Amino acid sequence: MSEPDVIMFGAGPIRFGQSFVNSEAFRVLFQEGMELIEETAAYLDGPGRHDSRQMSREISLVYASESMRLTTRLMQVASWLLLQRAVAEGEMTADQANLEKNRVRLTVPEAPTTVAEFEKLPERLKDLIGLAARLHSRIMHLEKLMSEPPAPPEVPGPNPVTAQLGLLEQAFSKK
């Protein structure tokens, strides 16, 4: 392989988002997100219903609020992941995806639930909330990285070695 095969002069910086959505890391993140969504849906439709019936009215309301926050967070995650996959598979351009992202924004949900109330929730729900919060946070970080405009290319300054060689040449050519 020759150097021109590896380096493309004047190609400009590579945007993180373009390379990320086509990477194995994105495929793993996508799979992780979709599995968490499926696990959460299975819990809320099955054992979670049973758990919520066993709670006091006060904690049942906390359960309902937290499960709605969890569902909203996971819907945002799913929307983001599906948009990025559509870009990776060429179904839409990055510009089209950016227009769609404006409809469903990644937001940080408020957490008015107290620690004492949260501790009374079923362990599986607390686990799912924690996993969803971590995934959501990672995606928000990735979104920030992907949305930042690329840094302008650095303009190289004068080569200090060339300057020193010029001075040496001047010094020895003045005979």
pLDDT one digit per residue (tens) for the chain, 175 residues:
444 454 555 555 555 656 778 889 999 999 999 999 999 999 999 999 999 999 999 999 999 999 999 999 999 999 999 999 998 898 988 778 878 877 767 777 676 788 999 999 999 999 999 999 999 999 998 888 877 776 666 777 778 888 888 888 888 886 5
Distance CA 67, CA 52 (A): 10
pLDDT digits (tens, 9 = 90+) for 55-96: 999 999 999 999 999 999 999 999 999 999 998 898 988 778
**Which ranges of 46-151 would DSSP assign to H, the alpha helix?**
47-53, 57-88, 94-101, 115-119, 123-147
Distance CA 16, CA 36 (A): 25
Answer yes or no: are the C-beta atoms of 25 and 114 closer than 8 Å: no
Side chain identity, residue 127: D
pLDDT of residue 97: 80
Q: Is the dihedral of CA 71, 72, 73, 76 positive or negative?
A: positive
Domains of the chain: 14-150 (1.10.8.930)
As given in the structure block, the two tokens for residue 98 are 């950016």
SS3 content of the chain, % helix, strand, coil (to 5): 70, 0, 30
User: Position of tokens 């968490």?
Assistant: 36
